[in-house]
Chains A and B, each alone.
Chain A
Amino acid sequence: MGPATLEVLQAIAGGRLYGFDIMDATELPGGTVYPALAALERDALVDSDWEDPEVARGEKRPPRRYYVITARGQGALRSEIERLHRLAGLADDSGIDGANTTSTPEMSPRKA
Chain B
Amino acid sequence: MRRLQLLSALALINGVRWIVPRRLRARWIAEWRGELWYLWKARSSQTAATNDHAPSGVFSRSLSSIPHATALARQEWTPDMLVQDIWYAVRRLSGNPGFVLIAVLTIAIGVGANTAIFSVINSTLINPLPYPDANRIVYLWSLIPASDFMVTPGGEDVRAWREQMTSFEEMEVWATKHVTLTGEGEPVDLAAALASQRLFAFLGLQPSHGRGFSVEEARDDARVVVISDGFWRRRLGGIADVLGYQLLLSGEPHEIIGVLPRSYVAHAPFFDTEIFLPLTDDKIDEAESPVAVGRLKRGITAQAANAEFEALAAGSTADGEPDAATRVGHAMRPQEMVGDNFRTSLFTLQAAVGFVLLIACANVANLLLARGTAQQREMAVRAAMGAGRGRLLRQLLAENLLLAIAGGLLGYGLARLGVTVLIALRPESMQNLETIRVDPSMLWFALGVSVLTGIVFGLLPAMQGSRPDVLDQLKDATRSGTPSSRRVSVRNMFVVAEVALSIVLLVGAGLLLSSLGRLLTSDIGFDPHNVLAMSLDLPKDRYPEAAGRMEFRRQLEEGVALAAGDRIESMAVASYPPPRGGVWFSTFAPEGGDPTPSLEKVPIFTTWGSPGYIETLRISLVHGRDFVPGDEEDESNPVIVSAEWARRMWGDERVAGRRFSAQGRGAPTLFSVVGVIDDPRLTGPVERYNDLLVLQPQDTADAALSILVRAEENPLAFVETLKQQVWAIDPDVPIGDVALVEDLMAGTLAPQRFNAILVTLAAGVALSLALIGLYGVLSYSVGQRTREIGIRMALGAERSHIVPMVAWQGMRLVLIGVFVGIVSALALGRLIESLLYEVGAFDSLTYASVVAVFAFVSTLACLVPATRAARSDPMLALQSE
Contact = CB atoms under 8 A, between A and B. Distances in A.
B35 A35 contact: no
Nearest to A28: B64
Contact of B68 (A31, A60, A63): A31
Q: Which of A31, A38, A56, A65 has the most CB of B within 10 A?
A: A31
A50 B71 CA distance: 22
Interface stretch (B37-45, B474-482, B694-702): B37-45
Contacts of A18: 35, 38
A31 B35 contact: no
Interface string A84-110: 000000000000000000000000000
A75 B513 CA distance: 83
A56 B33 CA distance: 12
Contacts of A59: 38, 41
A30 B38 contact: no
A62 interface: yes
Nearest to A33: B64
A57 to B, nearest CB: 12
Contacts of B71: 31, 34-35, 38
A2 B856 CA distance: 71
Interface in B21-43: 27, 30-31, 33-35, 37-39, 41
Interface string A13-26: 00000111001000
- Bin chain A's interface residue count: 20 to 34
Contacts of B95: none
B67 A20 contact: no
Interface string A30-65: 111111001000000000001000001001111111
B66 interface: yes
Given A61-B34, A65-B31, A65-B34, A38 B61 contact: no
A29 B62 CA distance: 11
Nearest to B28: A34
B66 A20 contact: no
A61 B67 CA distance: 25
Contact of B34 (A29, A38, A60, A63): A63
Contacts of A56: 34
- Bin chain B's interface residue count: 20 to 34
A67 B552 CA distance: 106
Given A62-B30, A62-B33, A34 B64 contact: yes
Contact of B38 (A33, A50, A64): A64
B878 interface: no
A19 B35 contact: yes
B48 to A, nearest CB: 15
Contacts of B326: none
Interface SS of chain B: helix, strand, loop or mixed? helix
B72 A38 contact: yes
Nearest to A63: B34
A24 B75 CA distance: 26
Given A61-B34, A65-B30, A20 B72 contact: no
Q: Which of B33, B34, B37 has the most CB of A within 10 A?
A: B34
A18 B30 CA distance: 13
A60 B6 CA distance: 14
B30 A20 contact: no
A20 B68 contact: no
A20 B65 contact: no
Contacts of B72: 35, 38
B67 A31 contact: yes
B64 A31 contact: yes
A88 to B, nearest CB: 31
Given A31-B68, A34-B71, A62 B61 contact: no
A60 B30 CA distance: 15
Interface string B50-94: 000000000001011111100110010000000000000000000
A30 B16 CA distance: 14
B23 to A, nearest CB: 13
A48 to B, nearest CB: 9
A59 B75 CA distance: 35
Contacts of B65: 30
Q: Which of A29, A30, A33, A38 has the most CB of B within 10 A?
A: A30
A30 B68 contact: yes
B785 to A, nearest CB: 50
Q: Which of B38, B61, B65 has the most CB of A within 10 A?
A: B38
Contacts of B31: 19, 64-65
Given A20-B61, A30-B61, A59-B41, A64 B34 contact: yes
A30 to B, nearest CB: 2
A19 B61 CA distance: 11
Q: Which of A56, A59, A62 has the most CB of B within 10 A?
A: A62
Contacts of A33: 64
Nearest to B27: A65
Contacts of A19: 31, 35
A29 B38 CA distance: 18
B41 A62 contact: no
Interface of A: 18-20, 23, 29-35, 38, 50, 56, 59-65
Given A29-B67, A35-B71, A38-B75, 5 more contacts: A30-B61, A38-B72, A56-B34, A65-B27, A65-B31
18 contacts: A29-B67, A30-B61, A30-B63, A31-B66, A31-B71, A32-B67, A34-B64, A34-B68, A38-B75, A59-B38, A60-B41, A61-B38, A62-B37, A63-B30, A64-B35, A65-B27, A65-B30, A65-B34
Nearest first, the 9 A-B pairs at minimum CB distance are: A30-B64, A31-B67, A35-B71, A61-B37, A64-B34, A34-B68, A62-B34, A65-B31, A20-B35
